[in-house]
Amino acid sequence: MDTNYWTLDRLGRLYKDWDPKVLTDLSAKVAQSKWRPGYHITTKTGLLNDPNGFSYFNGQWHLFNQAFPYGAVHGLKSWQHNVSDDLVHWRVVDKPMVPDIYSDRNGCYSGSAINVGDKLFIMYTGNTFEGSEFTRHPYQVGAWMDADNNIEKLAEPLIQDSPAGVTGHFRDPQIIKRDDYYYAFIGAQTVDNAGEILTYRSQQVDSGWELYKKLDLGTDNLGYMAECPNIGFVDGKVVVIFCPQGADKASFHYDNVHPNAYIIADELDFTDMKLVNPSPMQQLDEGFDYYATQLLNSPDGRLLSVGWIGLPDTEYLSDQDGWEGELSMVRELHIVSGRLIQSPVNELGNLIEDTEPAATDLQKRITASPFAGQYGLNLDSTDSYLHLSYDETDRQWTLERKNVGEAAVTRSFSGDPSSLEVYLDNSVFEIFINGGKVTMTGQFFHDGESIKVSANQMTIKQNKIKNM
């Protein structure tokens, strides 16, 4: 980040106070970028991060994301609003939720949405800094959205402050309904610098929220902050997905700056707010860039997820082009033998063509049939590559990435092979191994002209993928 340009004034400037020419000039710059995706959600300009408000309302899928349109930096956050009829063709609604009230004046942070009657109710964290020392003061804010996608925020916050013993890092509410109560799961940091997930509940979604209990996950290894907690139900089980920043690597290994984790349990005891027979905490994704995953138990019975292809506290090569970040493809989740299975939603087939892509086609699906021994899949470009290999002697998968102008980095895990799918969208990749038992997600910055695909000891098939 250019700290000479990105002063505190620019990072926190209200949208109405920006010169419109800034967006015009930035749009022209972004249009020249060689790394723009074709079938992943991104912003027209600037930054994209956490998915929010994933819901089905008024006959359409709705998916919001945090955004800062004025640069590829974490400035004053708003919510971009995306809608779809089929989970793969998305369009942006030109009615973003921007910070414009006292309780969100320093940013509309993450949250969720739930159908209530003929409206969609949104609950999110309003970020503020108060006093001469700029102390963080979070508000949990409510808003109603009507069938015309007009959003009206409540006059008063739903929750005015962090509870006793919790710092200003208190955010990212997920609302679910169970029996007579609405429950909100909120990530928190204690004054002792420990992460936890707190639950609030109310019988009225737009008022009366009170602290209920701490969520007992069966582990205290939540680092110094548990971000983006989400609860989902599938296959007779419950899954909790969250981001335990600073989790102890001695008992939960991860290589990224912050992990995205999950725990599976037989059920959630709402009386004691405790997971019953929880699994160990496990990595959600073994790749380079995947965070802030949001869940939706959809009306058609599926458990769906979407994540941010990016990480906090990380800069990317696309920043220089005036944009950063994408949302993942929507995934359908299942639980098999105590493992979370992630796979692209069936609707993605609407984008896949029978045509075999050329090296210059940067949107493609690659499927492979592994053989015994040592084998690999190679995506090569000028001064950059993405190499996935497997060695049966130690059952080790390794993904090595070299971006243009950068040193190579790797991620690895142990497991047996059975199937492999790679979805490439210019600078975005999503890899599904063994039917989605393992995923590896990230960004790959190449020469922007061509990517040659080859394989060692494997048969591969390639298909072009249409832009959404």
Using alpha carbons, select from 304, 323, 284 the residue that is nearest to residue 427. 323
**Distance between CA atoms of residues 327 and 108, nearest Å:** 18
Please return the burial class of 328, using the count of CB atoms within 10 Å of its CB with bins 0-12, 13-18 and 19+.
buried
Tokens of 239: 């899954």
8 Å CB contact between 144 and 171: no
Please say if 50 is a catalytic residue. Answer: yes
Task: Tell me the backbone φ, ψ of residue 10, rounded to 5 degrees.
Answer: -70, -40
CA distances 29 to 6, 44, 45, 49, 326, Å, are 18, 11, 9, 20, 18
Contact 318, 26 (CB under 8 A): no
Contacts of 392 (CB under 8 A, 6+ apart): 372, 373, 374, 417
Q: 25: which 2 tokens?
A: 């000039």
Q: Is 250 exposed, middle or buried (0-12, 13-18, 19+ CB in 10 A)?
A: exposed
Structure tokens at 178: 């169970």
Task: Tell which residue, 293, 454, 334, has the closest CA to residue 388.
Answer: 454
Give the chain's largest Cα–Cα span: 64
Identified catalytic residue from 9, 17, 50, 94: 50
Q: Give dist(CA 267, CA 262) in Å, integer.
A: 14
d(CA 293, CA 272): 25
Strand partners, 167: none
Residue in the block written with tokens 């600073």: 246
Beta bridge partners of residue 357, listed in sequence order? none
| Amino acid in the structure at residue 93 | V
Residues 219, 275 contacting (CB under 8 angstroms): no
Distance, CA of 87 to CA of 63 (rounded, Å):
9
Q: How far is CA 146 from the centre of its chain?
A: 25
Would you put residue 317 in left (φ > 0), alpha (ψ -120 to 50) or beta? alpha
- Cβ atoms of 12 and 74 closer than 8 Å: no
Which amino acids are annotated catalytic? 50
